[in-house]
Homo-oligomer: A and B are copies of this chain.
């Protein structure tokens, strides 16, 4: 599963993304250059490699089907869960074997020969580059360590869930310590040189290829600098935004909400002949190949906006998967979790929170749910800001600070500045600084997120980086597509989807960092001021600040 709202980490594919030493900038014309004039022996070698890579990718898709089923339709008994766990474990082994097939190593050695490599097109060279990195990393983790890690992740989940339920950090802390130690060990296997300097850098790179902790430090510092005062000004504003349009007239029948969401997904461009929309406890998006991209959302009868917002978010993820380059090759997959998140947030926020979107959506909301609010009222309600404890419930203005808090704690855990036992205290202090809130317990604090229980350290920052990428991409699209508001208001989303397809999705992971991709798509590397300008402009106006 990728790009889910509240989680991700996939133990099976963990370690399959990272930063190659020899990444370089490539002209955009590469897509037409895939077939190069290589000798037939090299062609055979390359084709054989692709066959083996395709095999491993298909096996990962199989595992993803099991995971999707587990989250959506699988029966609830403990025996069922155990049995599915056993199936996934066996598949993890099969996938690992396919990924470290010695034949892949041999073929890559032949293709990476400096006398041979230039025979390949730039695209094919990228395939060799990425598969070598994946292969090297998979091989680098001893089976014993991988198994211990998988076991810890599974134990981590249980003890985290218990700690959260009982609001008792000490129930999770010992496992978290083990997870942290294991992750250090893991990082040293995967990228020994980089880990010797900073193991956190290895983990970050796994989720956000080409990104360094230092760069994130800088970006996040800039965000804090502008966002903490803005947020506090909004909190202090006398303007209060009502959420009434989302709740008045409740209960909203689930069937009718489903109908609304399907209509909106279809209008945005979701193709139900190559995808599904289902219900799960946590909304997520997954893909079993470009032709089978599935998303979920969740409904409650008392409020209809969260389900719709979740749907739009996951639809954004699904577009990325659906428009990736053809072929089950490493370079045909998404570039990073941050870029994936930029695609979901693009639709959720820059489209779904815009005045034009609500001019489009208001009649559909009225038709399906009988809600008679004006587009202006709906737009306002969707953009209310509130200080809260829970990241996944946070609005776009406060969300960045939730991420920064977690990133700072992760950094301090990895540098041993902070002990696991002291995480709740550090958490409380930061919540006070950022939001002026007193954290009542760890369920509303350090134990609210699943990520660390699965050793997904380095994942959190990708959420905020994604938000920054999406703001930059939106600004560029607004410039290039002149009448964006008009299109959105008329439900004509195709040109936007097409632009994203050309500039982001079809690039797969040919570029080796979000910076390079953004340079290609927007003309400059990440510039976080686009996000900050967007937030400042929008919320100063909404909350009547000077």
CB < 8 Å neighbour of A274 from B66, B77, B94, B288: B77
The answer to whether A58 and B82 touch (CB under 8 A), given A292-B74, A292-B75, is: no
Contact call B87/A58, Cβ cutoff below 8 A: yes
Give residues 289-329 of A contacting B (CB, 8 Å): 289-292
Contact call A61/B80, Cβ cutoff below 8 A: no
> What B residues does A275 contact at CB under 8 A?
75
Contact call B62/A276, Cβ cutoff below 8 A: no
State the Cβ distance, A278 to closest chain B Cβ, in Å. Answer: 8
State the Cβ distance, A97 to closest chain B Cβ, in Å. Answer: 9
* Distance of A54 Cα from B90 Cα, bound (Å): 10
* Distance of A59 Cα from B278 Cα, bound (Å): 26
Contact call B61/A87, Cβ cutoff below 8 A: yes
Give residues 118-156 of A contacting B (CB, 8 Å): none
Contact call B76/A273, Cβ cutoff below 8 A: yes
The answer to whether A90 and B75 touch (CB under 8 A), given A291-B82, A292-B83, is: no
CB < 8 Å neighbour of A79 from B91, B272, B290: B290
State the Cβ distance, A258 to closest chain B Cβ, in Å. Answer: 13
Residue of B nearest to A293 (CB): B75
> What B residues does A292 contact at CB under 8 A?
74-75, 80, 83-84
Residue of B nearest to A59 (CB): B90
Residue of B nearest to A278 (CB): B73
Contact call B59/A274, Cβ cutoff below 8 A: no
* Distance of A58 Cα from B85 Cα, bound (Å): 10
* A65 CB–B CB distance under 8 Å: yes
> What B residues does A82 contact at CB under 8 A?
291
* A5 CB–B CB distance under 8 Å: no
State the Cβ distance, A13 to closest chain B Cβ, in Å. Answer: 16
Map CB proximity to B onto A260-298 as digits: 1 under 8 Å, 0 otherwise.
000000000001111110100000000011111000000
Report the interface size for chain A: residues with CB under 8 A from the other chain: 36
* A55 CB–B CB distance under 8 Å: yes
* Distance of A79 Cα from B77 Cα, bound (Å): 34
* A438 CB–B CB distance under 8 Å: no
State the Cβ distance, A478 to closest chain B Cβ, in Å. Answer: 33
* A480 CB–B CB distance under 8 Å: no
Map CB proximity to B onto A46-85 as digits: 1 under 8 Å, 0 otherwise.
0000000011001101100110010001111101101110
> What B residues does A59 contact at CB under 8 A?
90-91, 94
> What B residues does A65 contact at CB under 8 A?
65-66, 69, 87
Contact call A79/B288, Cβ cutoff below 8 A: no
The answer to whether A62 and B66 touch (CB under 8 A), given A275-B75, A276-B75, is: yes
Contact call B90/A273, Cβ cutoff below 8 A: no
> What B residues does A62 contact at CB under 8 A?
62, 66, 87, 90-91
* Distance of A273 Cα from B77 Cα, bound (Å): 5
Contact call A80/B276, Cβ cutoff below 8 A: no
Contact call B94/A291, Cβ cutoff below 8 A: no
Contact call B83/A289, Cβ cutoff below 8 A: yes
> What B residues does A288 contact at CB under 8 A?
83-84, 87
* Distance of A274 Cα from B83 Cα, bound (Å): 11
* A86 CB–B CB distance under 8 Å: yes
The answer to whether A73 and B75 touch (CB under 8 A), given A274-B80, A289-B83, A291-B82, is: no
The answer to whether A77 and B291 touch (CB under 8 A), given A59-B90, A87-B61, is: yes
Residue of B nearest to A83 (CB): B289
Contact call A75/B272, Cβ cutoff below 8 A: yes
* Distance of A453 Cα from B239 Cα, bound (Å): 71
Residue of B nearest to A58 (CB): B90
* For the complex of A and B, 8 pairs with smallest distance between CB atoms: A79-B291, A83-B289, A80-B291, A77-B273, A58-B90, A77-B274, A80-B292, A58-B87
Interface residues of A (CB under 8 A from B): 54-55, 58-59, 61-62, 65-66, 69, 73-77, 79-80, 82-84, 86-87, 90-91, 94, 271-276, 278, 288-292
| Given A58-B86, A73-B73, 15 extra CB contacts under 8 A | A55-B90, A61-B83, A62-B66, A62-B87, A62-B91, A65-B65, A75-B274, A75-B276, A75-B292, A77-B291, A79-B274, A80-B273, A80-B291, A80-B292, A83-B292
